[in-house]
C-alpha cells in the first residue's frame, strides 16, 4: 500500500481549555470554530479542516495518528492488503467520517497497540489559515502534518509491520548509548518514510508505551526565527522544555521539544531534510544530534 502522509493526530484531555490556550498561545494553531464545541477542539495548521482533534475524556493522552491515502482505489487496495496479511481493522462509522472530515477510513492497531487510522478525501476548510501567533504557515505542502514517534516494546516486530504491511520505507536506524557510562543501555530507533519527501513520517522507539501514549509528534515551520519565537512563547507560558534547541543528525531538523498538555512531547522545528528517495540509501546513525538537544525529563 502507498500511504501518502501523516494527516492528523487525535488527542484526549481532561481540560480542553488548557489545550486551547496551549494551541493558541504557544504553538500558534488556528481553532476551527465551525467544527469545535465544548468537548471538541479542532486545530488547523494549513488549509485542511483540522490537523489536531482534541476531545474531552477521562485522561490526558495521545489517542491515534491518522494517515492519508490518495484516493478510493488506494484505500481499497490498502484494505485488501491488510485482509491478506490477516490484520484486523474496522471501517469508520458515519459519525467517525463526519468527525474526521474524510470520505472513508479504517482504524487498526500496530503490534504494540498504537492506534492508527487510514483514510482518504480529507477536506480543506473554506476559511484561509491564519495563525494566532502570525506564523507564516507550517511546512505541510506535499509532506503532510509532520511525524510521530511511537513506542515499540518489540522493535523488530513493529518495524516489520510498518515496512512489510503498511509499505513504509526505511530511512535510518539509530543506535546510541543512553549516557556516558560504558555499560549504559542502548537506545534503538527505526525511522521510516512514506510516499512523500519528508525524511521520516513515523519513527519507532524501543520502549514500553508511555502513559501519555506517544513519544512525540513534530510540526515544522519555515525558518529559524519561527522556531525561536516558538521557544520564547513556550517559556513565557511556562511550558516544560523537554529538550533544548539542537540539530538532528538524520533529518537535519533544527528543533526544540516541549511537553504538551496531554503529556507527550511536541517537537517544533525547521529545515527538515526533503529526500529524493530514488537516490537514497538507508542510513545508520550513532548520534541523535550534531549539537544541542539536551533532554530534561518532565517534572511530573
- In the complex, which residues of this chain contact Fe ion (CB under 5 A)? 218, 267
All three cell numbers of 235: 517559556
C-alpha cell recorded at residue 215:
513519544
CB 188 within 8 A of CB 174: yes
- What cell numbers appear for 181 in the block? 557510562
DSSP H helical segments within 62-204, as ranges?
A: 72-84, 94-100, 155-160
Spatial distance between the Cα atoms of 205 and 162, rounded to a whole number of angstroms: 13
Burial class (CB in 10 A: 0-12, 13-18, 19+), 96: middle
Contact predicate 145/8, CB 8 Å: yes
What span, in angstroms and rounded, lies between the C-alpha atoms of 144 and 209? 24
What is the bridge-based pairing of β-strands 265-270 and 283-285? Answer: unpaired
Is there a contact between 82 and 89 (Cβ–Cβ < 8 Å)? Answer: yes
Give the residue among 59, 19, 21, 51 at the shortest CA–CA distance from 212. Answer: 59
List the strands of the sheet with 115-120, edge to edge.
30-31, 40-44, 52-56, 3-13, 61-69, 115-120, 104-109, 90-91
Q: Which residues contact 170 (CB under 8 A, 6 or more apart)?
A: 163, 190, 191, 192, 282
Q: Which residue reads 469508520 in cell numbers?
A: 92
Amino acid at each position: 500500500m502507498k500511504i501518502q502522509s501523516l494527516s492528523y493526530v487525535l488527542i484526549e484531555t481532561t481540560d480542553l481549555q488548557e489545550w486551547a490556550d496551549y494551541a493558541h498561545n504557544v504553538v500558534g494553531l488556528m481553532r476551527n470554530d465551525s467544527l469545535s464545541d465544548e468537548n471538541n477542539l479542532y486545530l488547523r495548521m494549513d488549509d485542511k479542516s483540522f490537523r489536531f482533534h482534541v476531545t474531552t475524556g477521562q485522561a490526558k493522552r495521545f489517542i491515534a495518528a491518522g494517515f492519508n491515502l490518495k484516493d478510493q482505489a488506494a484505500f481499497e487496495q490498502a484494505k485488501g492488503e491488510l485482509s491478506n496479511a490477516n490484520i484486523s481493522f474496522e471501517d469508520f462509522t458515519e459519525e467517525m467520517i463526519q468527525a474526521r472530515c474524510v470520505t472513508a477510513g479504517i482504524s487498526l492497531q500496530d503490534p504494540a497497540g498504537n492506534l492508527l487510522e487510514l483514510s482518504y478525501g480529507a477536506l480543506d476548510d473554506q476559511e484561509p489559515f491564519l495563525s494566532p501567533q502570525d506564523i507564516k504557515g507550517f511546512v505541510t505542502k506535499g509532506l503532510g502534518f509532520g511525524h510521530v514517534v511511537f513506542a515499540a516494546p518489540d522493535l523488530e516486530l513493529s518495524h516489520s509491520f510498518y515496512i512489510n504491511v503498511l509499505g513504509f520505507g526505511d530511512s535510518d536506524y539509530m543506535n546510541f548509548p543512553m549516557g556516558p557510562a560504558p555499560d549504559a543501555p542502548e537506545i534503538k530507533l527505526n525511522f521510516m518514510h512514506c510516499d512523500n519527501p519528508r525524511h521520516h513520517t513515523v519513527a519507532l522507539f524501543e520502549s514500553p508505551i508511555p502513559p501519555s501514549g506517544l513519544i512525540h509528534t513534530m510540526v515544522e515551520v519555515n525558518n529559524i526565527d519561527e522556531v525561536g519565537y516558538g521557544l520564547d512563547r513556550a517559556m513565557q507560558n511556562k511550558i516544560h522544555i523537554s529538550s533544548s534547541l539542537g540539530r538532528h543528525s538524520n533529518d537535519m531538523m533544527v528543533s526544540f521539544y516541549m511537553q504538551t498538555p496531554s503529556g507527550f512531547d511536541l517537537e517544533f522545528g525547521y529545515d527538515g531534510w526533503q529526500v529524493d528517495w530514488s537516490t537514497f540509501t538507508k542510513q545508520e546513525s550513532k548520534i541523535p544530534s550534531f549539537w544541542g538537544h539536551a533532554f530534561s525529563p518532565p517534572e511530573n
